Amino acid sequence: MGLVPTMGALHAGHLSLIERAKRECSPVIASIFVNPKQFGANEDFAKYPRAFEIDMQKMEQAGVDSLFAPEESEIYPNGFSTYVNVEGLSERLEGRSRPGHFRGVTTIVMKLLQIVQPNFAYFGRKDAQQARIITQMARDLNLDTEIVVCPLVREPDGLALSSRNAYLSKEERKAAPVLYRALEAAKNELTHGVRDAAQLQTSLRRKLESEHLATTDYAEVVDAQRFEPVLKVNKPCYVLLAVFIGKTRLIDNLYVEPKSKGSEELVFHF
């Protein structure tokens, strides 16, 4: 059995998770639940895009066998007071910018896994830190579910697919691929032998700041397991971006790893 957890507002990225699940599992269950516990006080819970009927049609067309779409009162009944938190990993980067966010994520994912009891659960690599935290949670708590992390999906101009892209105005949408261009610039430097993380981060910020609608939250190079800053890119790493385009906060990443043990040649995953 495979599970694809979503918050709805489905796009091609979600559908790619369903497609992967369909290749590997039967039945495939998808969930839609806009989780209030992962939104901060000043975030976009109230305006987060909701299109339940359209999402249901997309899931049916994609071959989902069952849809789980619980009410908030089912998931968080009166008196709910138990949370799951992955310490350390949850306080960095996204956790630093969005306090309490990952506690909400791990709690809802744990509940969905307990309710559905899937053999496999599918998540996208666009939310790289989230995927890492969920994988850690499943390992630490001896869950029977295997967490499968799938490649992110992009628009033709490189913008990573996200439900929040719907917030962008026409001008902001033209500006948003600056995140991808910054990652491409980092890849180019790495390809030409740059391994110093501070130099890469300076280049990332310079590229992002070339777009007047972009405001950088963070642009960092981190260890792919601990999500802690590195000095040199000589092991599996993520180049991570969080950028406001106007008022819309977007994230993106580039995964970098040596081609083989001890190799100077790198492999890149956008």
Closest residue by Cα to residue 31 from 103, 139, 111: 111
Residue 92 DSSP code: S
Q: How far apart are CA 27 and CA 1, in angstroms?
A: 5
Q: How far apart are CA 14 and CA 158, in angstroms?
A: 17
Tell me whether residue 170 is exposed, middle or buried, using C-beta atoms within 10 angstroms of its C-beta: 0 to 12, 13 to 18, 19 or more. exposed
Which member of 11, 14, 101, 269 is catalytic?
A: 14
Is 14 annotated in the active site? yes
Closest residue by Cα to residue 163 from 38, 264, 12, 57: 12
Is there a contact between 105 and 83 (Cβ–Cβ < 8 Å)? no
As annotated, the active-site residues are 14
